[in-house]
């Protein structure tokens, strides 16, 4: 059996056929069009999907052999209405993606947030395989998360469980775009790291304006960049310590572009974690980098179709 998987991001739109073993049989990624026409974005997406179906020997108008479509999307989304309004895709505001895909391909569509898809993918085929209690996190432009307890995705009351990026880690910290104060995202996201280093390197010929530039500088020993990753990592460690203490987790898996910085982020995470996870059961080392990289969105999207008893519980 194969499932059709879709990954919606502000930079790229991805589609794939994924096998029952979680392997990507064929895939296609196209740039997300910079446009204010919602149909242009939808056409780019269906173009990629059609290519993948053809490559897999399936007629887009006769998809009967497929059990369904899994969609991992940048947020926010309204799971009940089936609409998406990704922050970085301005053309889609309340776009009825579930209905449109269902009409186009004649298949049931299951849609959820991209951070949850990373938790699912890492639990199914990645760094959290065989671990029943998992927090999966994405640290990139923002900070997101998804929660798996007892080998089952936890949606929460409104489908938003796992929003660790908007847990406050500093009561006198920076304001957050959500309206809160000192949220993890306002300190540890790539955006926040870039703002923090830009302010402190403004007098340089080449200020460090992005997290990617800061990561490169940190590896070269730049003290401002190292301090930015220490501040971000310790904040992540503090938030993760709270989550592990609350939920008695086996493992926390962290992926996303900022996490790709490696040890300059993960060493401060370990320090922050050790400082705030004081109880013995919470103190075991268990914060690890994601294993699946850029494929996690597609693999997680397929998992909700291929393993619904674990990854699509209590829903339809």
* Cα(208)–Cα(148) distance, integer angstroms: 36
* Cα(116)–Cα(266) distance, integer angstroms: 21
Minimum distance between the CB of residue 80 and Zn ion, rounded to whole angstroms?
Answer: 23
Backbone φ and ψ for 120, nearest 5 degrees, come out as -65, -50
Reading the block at residue 110, the tokens are 């299951």
Minimum distance between the CB of residue 172 and Zn ion, rounded to whole angstroms?
Answer: 15
| Nearer of residues 166 and 286 to Zn ion, judged by Cβ | 166
Reading the block at residue 310, the tokens are 């674990």
Q: Which of 54, 55, 95, 93 is nearest to 71 (CA)?
A: 95
| Nearer of residues 125 and 166 to Zn ion, judged by Cβ | 166
| Residues 105 and 99: beta-carbon distance below 8 Å | no
Minimum distance between the CB of residue 8 and Zn ion, rounded to whole angstroms?
Answer: 22
Minimum distance between the CB of residue 179 and Zn ion, rounded to whole angstroms?
Answer: 7
| Nearer of residues 173 and 308 to Zn ion, judged by Cβ | 173
| Nearer of residues 178 and 202 to Zn ion, judged by Cβ | 178
* Cα(293)–Cα(311) distance, integer angstroms: 20
| Nearer of residues 108 and 180 to Zn ion, judged by Cβ | 180
- Counting Cβ atoms within 10 Å, is residue 179 exposed (0-12), middle (13-18) or buried (19+)? exposed
- Counting Cβ atoms within 10 Å, is residue 44 exposed (0-12), middle (13-18) or buried (19+)? middle
| Nearer of residues 180 and 257 to Zn ion, judged by Cβ | 180
Minimum distance between the CB of residue 161 and Zn ion, rounded to whole angstroms?
Answer: 16
| Nearer of residues 183 and 249 to Zn ion, judged by Cβ | 183
Q: By CB under 5 A, name the binding residues for Zn ion.
A: 166, 176, 178, 180, 183
Helix or strand or coil: residue 153? strand
User: Count of alpha carbons within 13 Å of 10, Cβ hemisphere only?
Assistant: 12
Minimum distance between the CB of residue 139 and Zn ion, rounded to whole angstroms?
Answer: 14
| Nearer of residues 176 and 258 to Zn ion, judged by Cβ | 176
Question: Mind giving me the DSSP string for 102-140?
Answer: HHHH-S-EEEEEHHHHHHHHHHHHSTTTT-SSEEEEEES
Minimum distance between the CB of residue 191 and Zn ion, rounded to whole angstroms?
Answer: 12
Residue with tokens 């391909």: 105
Minimum distance between the CB of residue 178 and Zn ion, rounded to whole angstroms?
Answer: 3
């Amino acid at each position: 059996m194969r499932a059709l998987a879709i990954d919606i991001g502000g930079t790229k739109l991805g589609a794939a056929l994924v096998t029952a073993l979680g392997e990507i049989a064929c895939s296609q990624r196209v740039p997300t069009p910079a446009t204010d026409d919602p149909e242009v974005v939808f056409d780019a997406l269906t173009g990629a999907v059609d290519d993948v179906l053809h490559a897999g020997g399936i007629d887009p108008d006769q998809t009967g052999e497929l059990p369904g479509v899994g969609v991992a999307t940048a947020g926010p989304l309204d799971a009940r209405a089936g609409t998406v309004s990704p922050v970085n895709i301005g053309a889609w505001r309340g776009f009825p993606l579930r209905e449109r895909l269902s009409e186009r391909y004649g298949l049931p569509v299951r849609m959820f947030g991209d951070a949850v898809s990373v938790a699912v993918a890492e639990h199914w085929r990645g760094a959290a395989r065989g671990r029943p209690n998992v927090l999966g996190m994405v640290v990139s432009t923002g900070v997101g998360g998804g929660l798996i307890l007892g080998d089952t995705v936890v949606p929460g009351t409104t489908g938003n469980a796992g929003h660790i990026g908007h847990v406050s880690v500093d009561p006198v910290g920076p304001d957050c775009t959500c309206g809160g104060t000192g949220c993890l995202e306002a300190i540890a996201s790539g955006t926040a790291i870039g703002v923090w280093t830009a302010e402190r390197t403004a007098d340089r010929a080449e200020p460090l304006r992005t997290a990617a530039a800061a990561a490169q500088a940190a590896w070269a020993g730049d003290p401002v960049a190292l301090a930015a990753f220490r501040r971000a990592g310790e904040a992540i460690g503090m938030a993760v310590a709270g989550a592990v203490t609350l939920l008695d987790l086996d493992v926390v898996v962290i992926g996303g572009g900022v996490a790709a910085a490696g040890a300059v982020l993960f060493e401060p995470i370990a320090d922050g974690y050790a400082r705030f996870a004081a109880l013995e059961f919470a103190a075991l080392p268990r914060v690890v980098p994601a294993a699946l990289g850029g494929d996690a969105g597609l693999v997680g999207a397929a998992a909700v179709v291929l393993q619904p008893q674990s990854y699509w519980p209590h829903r339809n």
